[in-house]
Amino acid sequence: MRLMIIGSLDGQIGAASKIAMQRGAKVAHVPDLEAGLTALRSGQGADLVMMDATLDVGGFIRSLEQERISIPVVACGVGTDASIAVSAIKAGAKEYIPLPPEPELIAAVLQAVTEETKTMVFRDGAMGKVISLADQVAPSDASILITGESGTGKEVMARYLHSKSKRASRPFISINCAAIPENLLESELFGHEKGAFTGAATRRVGKFEEANGGTLLLDEISEMDTRLQAKLLRAVQEREIDRVGGSKPVSIDIRVLATSNRDLQAEVKNGNFREDLLFRLNVVSLQLPPLRDRPMDLEALSHHFIEKYSEANGVALRPLSEATQTAIRNYPWPGNVRELENTMHRAVLLATGSEIQPDAIMLPDGSKPGEYSVSHEDSAPTMQDTTGQIQDSSAVMGTSSLVGRTVADVERDLIINTLTHTLGNRTHAATILGISIRTLRNKLKLYSDEGTSVPAPGDPGAATA
C-alpha cells in the first residue's frame, strides 16, 4: 500500500515511516498540506494519509472532497492530549494515533485500510466457477468486464484480479462513473491543464495517469455519457490520453477493468452504450451471481461478517441460532452481499445472550427476514385473507389507495420510499427501480427543489424516515 505522511510529527516521522515500511508500505513524506495536495494532484497517489494533528485536518479533508480525491486520513500527535484527538476525529480523521508510534497500532491501521482487498470469501460452487475463471485470466493484461446486481461484490472482484496480476505491486485506482457529474467526469479521468476551464487553477493529473503501470477500475461504466465513451475508447485502444486543455497526448500503461449492474448488450441496442467500446472492455466477462443463488456463500459470509464486526466493536463472538439461520436462508437479499454485511453488523450490536437470535436481525426498513415469503421465481409476497385463502399481497394492498392521486405523486413516493429502504444509496435504489442513476438524480433534484425531504447518501436515519 502507499502511505503519505504530512508534517514533521515532532521528529517522530522517522519512526513512523520505518514501522510502516516494515509492514510493506511505500512511504512518501511531504512537509505541509499544500505540498501534499500538490503531490496528489500530480498523480502521486496514496491509499492512506497520516498527518500531524496540529495541522488543519479539517481544511485538508475539505480540500480533498472539493477535488474529489478519496483517501482516508489518520491524524497523529505527540502526547495524550484528548482534546487534540477529539478535534481531529470531529474534523473527519478516520483515526488518531498517539506518538511515539506503537508498531502494533501502525500495523492495525495499515491492515484496516487494506483488509479484504486480496481475498474472496466464498464456499458455493456457483461463485467457485467465477473465481476459477478469475484466477485463470488475472495474470494477463486483458480488459475484463465484471457484471452483476448491485451489492454482489464487483469492486471486491476487481481488487482480487489486481492482486493476482503482474501489476499487483503497482497502483489500483478506482473511479465511480455514476457518482461524478457528467461535466466533471472527463477531467477526473483524463486530467486537465491549468486554465483549461473555469475553476482549473492548477494542472490536475487524471485517473488514467495516476494508474499508470497499474490497474484502473471504471466502476458502473454504463452510466457514462456516450460522448465521453468515444474518448474512453481511444484511451483503451491506443493507450494514450489527452488532458482537457492539453496540447499533446500522454502515453499510459494500464490494465482496464470495468463493472456494470446493467445488461450492456441491451444498452447498446437502446443507443446508450457504444458497441465498439463494449468489445474493447469485454475481452473476458465475469458475471457474479446474486447472493440468493449462492446459499453456501450466504452462510460463509454471515460468519465472516459476524467475526469481523464482533472484533471491531469489542463484543463477544456469538454464533447464529438455528432459527436465525433459517430466516436468513429464506430471505432473498435483494441488496446482496452489501445488504447482508450491514445486517450482520446490526445483529452483532443488537444481539444478547449466547447466540444471535432472529430479533437481532433487522433489515434497513425495520422489518425482519422471517416476515418475507418469496419464492425462487421472485414472486410477490403472499398473505391470508379473513377466509384463510392465500391472496397476492398486491391484491390485498390493492390499488384503492392510489385512486385520486396523480402518477407523478405515486412515482415520487415510490422513489423516496425505495431510497429510504437503501439508506440513501442512489445506485442501489436506481437498480431496484429499473432506471438509470442519471434519471434518479434528476428526479431527486426536482423533488428537493419542490421542498420534499430526500434521504442523503449513507443517511443512517433513512430507514426510519
Task: Give the model's pLDDT for residue 464.
Answer: 39
- Confidence at 119, pLDDT banded by 50, 70, 90: low
Among candidate residues 137, 139, 280, the one with its CA nearest the CA of residue 218: 280
Domain presence at residue 393: no
Which CATH number characterizes residue 196's domain?
A: 3.40.50.300
Same domain, 263 and 142: yes
Compute the distance between CA of residue 440 and CA of residue 450 in angstroms, rounded to an integer: 15
Task: Give the model's pLDDT for residue 448.
Answer: 86
Tens of pLDDT, residue by residue over 173-217, are: 999 998 888 778 988 899 888 877 777 778 888 899 989 999 999
More confident residue, 391 or 420: 420
Domain presence at residue 392: no
- Confidence at 337, pLDDT banded by 50, 70, 90: very high
At 415, which amino acid appears?
I
- The predicted model gives 234-261 an average pLDDT of 91
Task: Choose one of 287, 322, 348: the last residue of a domain.
Answer: 287
Element (H, E) at 375: none
Say how many C-beta atoms besides its own lie within 10 A of residue 450's C-beta.
Answer: 8
Among candidate residues 64, 55, 7, the one with its CA nearest the CA of residue 30: 7
Task: Give the model's pLDDT for residue 154.
Answer: 94
At 162, which amino acid appears?
H
All cell numbers assigned to 325: 439461520
Give strand pairing partners of 144: 257, 284
- Model pTM score: 0.66
- The predicted model gives 399-410 an average pLDDT of 65
Task: Give the model's pLDDT for residue 267.
Answer: 92
For 225, 425, 461, 464, the CA distances from 422, given in Å and listed in that order, are 25, 5, 11, 11
Inform me whether the pLDDT recorded for 407 exceeds 50.
Answer: yes
Helix, strand, coil share (%) of the chain residues, nearest 5: 45, 15, 40
Lowest model confidence (mean pLDDT) among 64-68, 185-189, 319-323, 441-445: 64-68
Same domain, 275 and 137: yes
Which CATH number characterizes residue 35's domain?
A: 3.40.50.2300
Same domain, 19 and 100: yes
What CA dihedral angle connects 359, 364, 369 and 372, to 10 degrees? 130
Same domain, 130 and 242: yes
Cα atoms in the Cβ-side hemisphere of radius 13 Å centred on 287? 7
All cell numbers assigned to 293: 443463488
Block residue for cell numbers 460463509: 300
Say how many C-beta atoms besides its own lie within 10 A of residue 31's C-beta.
Answer: 12
Task: Choose one of 85, 114, 143: the last residue of a domain.
Answer: 114
- The total number of structural domains in the chain stands at 4
Same domain, 138 and 261: yes
- Percent residues over pLDDT 70 in the chain: 86
Cβ–Cβ under 8 Å, residues 399 and 309? no
Domain presence at residue 385: no
Among candidate residues 127, 137, 143, 201, the one with its CA nearest the CA of residue 165: 137
Range of the domain at 77: 2-114
Among candidate residues 10, 13, 68, the one with its CA nearest the CA of residue 37: 68
Cβ–Cβ under 8 Å, residues 74 and 109? yes
**3-state secondary structure string, 11-25?**
HCHHHHHHHHHHCCC
- Strands 250-251 and 240-241, sheet pairing: antiparallel
Task: Give the model's pLDDT for residue 386.
Answer: 34
- The predicted model gives 245-271 an average pLDDT of 92
Domain presence at residue 106: yes
Cβ–Cβ under 8 Å, residues 286 and 144? yes
Task: Give the model's pLDDT for residue 437.
Answer: 78
Q: What is the mean pLDDT of the chain?
A: 82
Same domain, 319 and 191: no
Inform me whether the pLDDT recorded for 352 exceeds 70.
Answer: yes
Same domain, 189 and 45: no
More confident residue, 419 or 43: 419
Task: Give the model's pLDDT for residue 75.
Answer: 87
Compute the distance between CA of residue 171 and CA of residue 395 in angstroms, rounded to an integer: 54
Compute the distance between CA of residue 327 and CA of residue 212 in angstroms, rounded to an integer: 47
Same domain, 268 and 168: yes
Domain presence at residue 364: yes
Tens of pLDDT, residue by residue over 427-437, are: 777 877 777 77
Task: Choose one of 53, 79, 114: the last residue of a domain.
Answer: 114
Inform me whether the pLDDT recorded for 227 exceeds 50.
Answer: yes
Specify which of 6-10, 228-232, 361-365 reaches the highest per-range mean pLDDT.
228-232
For 2, 20, 30, 100, the CA distances from 27, given in Å and listed in that order, are 6, 7, 10, 18
- Please state the length of the chain: 465
Same domain, 233 and 303: no
- The predicted model gives 20-45 an average pLDDT of 83
- Confidence at 383, pLDDT banded by 50, 70, 90: very low
Give strand pairing partners of 428: none
Compute the distance between CA of residue 433 and CA of residue 6 in angstroms, rounded to an integer: 44
For 15, 181, 289, 437, the CA distances from 188, given in Å and listed in that order, are 35, 10, 31, 18
Domain presence at residue 394: no
Domain presence at residue 387: no
Same domain, 222 and 310: no
What CA dihedral angle connects 393, 395, 397 and 398, to 10 degrees? 160
Tens of pLDDT, residue by residue over 274-300, are: 999 999 999 999 999 999 999 999 999
Compute the distance between CA of residue 269 and CA of residue 45 in angstroms, rounded to an integer: 38
Domain presence at residue 395: no
The alpha-helical segments, DSSP class H, found in 94-181 are 103-114, 125-137, 154-163
Specify which of 41-45, 128-132, 314-318 reaches the highest per-range mean pLDDT.
128-132
Same domain, 132 and 268: yes
- 120-135 in b/e form (b: 16+ CB < 10 A) is bbbebeebeebeeebe
Inform me whether the pLDDT recorded for 152 exceeds 50.
Answer: yes
Same domain, 156 and 237: yes
Which CATH number characterizes residue 298's domain?
A: 1.10.8.60
More confident residue, 45 or 170: 170
